[in-house]
Chains A and B, each alone.
Chain A
Amino acid sequence: MDVSVKGALTPNAWRAASHLRRSIHSMAWMAWVAAIVVIATLTRNPWYLGLVIASVAFVRRRCAAPSESPHATLLSPVRFSLLVITTAALFNMAMVHVGATVLFTLPPWIPLLGGAWTLEALAYGALNGAALVSLFLGFSVLNRATSVRSLLRLIPRAFYPVAVVTSIAVSFIPTTLQQIEQIREAQAVRGHRLRGVRSWLPLLIPLLEGGMERALQLAEAMTARGFAGGVETRDRWPQMLTLTGFVGLVAGWLLQIVWRQQEAGAALLAFGALLLLTGLWRAGRRHPHTVYRPEQWRARDWLVAVAAGAAALAYLLPLFARETLFYYPYPALSWPAFDWRIGLATLGLLAPALS
């Protein structure tokens, strides 16, 4: 198996080298973020949300490589989080006029704002803000720890061309920003002063044309290196299968929702999903390609994925004191309950920071 080539790395050294680059598998990171999404959607309990934010912030400090782009440091995450929580709290207090602890009252004839401004509304708004912050922090860690390209690798093979094209589109954003700057300068050089929206209009034409030209150049470069966007084949099966599968899914869902046919609907849903997957699999075989340096799934990735999964399940399944999740400050602010088992499961989100 081992082919010895002058200058080539041995497979082990190779694997070691590729590990240096990305320590946790993108799929494990995805599981971790999914757990955060589940928790942030399900609970408004300040204890649990606080634990989530603290864990994520800790992971962020430990794992995420500092981003190279200067834009990332424009707004510190702490300041952004405080801003989100304050805004959400004030907004909720201004809009929702229920709750026992009235802070002050505005005359009722003022539309929307009029009425009692309560501590309960302020608290609930802040909790909503905290849920948003945990989502934001989770995704910001994902963004810094993995590259867009490694995430796109996770897209099924049938969508390979789509994945590559998307990854290129993503890398076009910085180039386009650069291009905007270039064009803005070029216009300033011609005495163009930028005031208001109308003065930006002339910049659109060179920007669009330049963007089109670069996109075409890149597409050409990719074609020249064997990247085939649309492979022409006579195989119509994938299309038929995916289409039928999709129709099956929609019909099954309608059966369940509209006509209340639970079993028949479920069967149709399962059948549709099966067809869809088969179609995608067949389509994937039309785009043979290999991956030069696939990510390695190691023990640590298991740890992250399992811990994140456990955390999510603690919130999803009625195993523990599920009622503690739905903390609701109305009508009168009360001390939120805390279940130590759910709290412990939440700490599973710290897994990426271990080792």
Chain B
Amino acid sequence: MSQALRILLSFLAFLSSVTLLHGWMNLDWFRGDGRKQLTVAHLPVT
């Protein structure tokens, strides 16, 4: 395998793993929750 291909493949692996990690940690992708959700926005000030 050429070096360029190796760099490319390992970068793709990194990209997909960081995407999955982000989805899991910050976007609740893998939380199969059947309940309805609504986001309510606010600032930390009354």
Are these two chains actual partners, yes or no?
Answer: no
Q: Which residues of A contact B (CB under 8 A)?
A: none
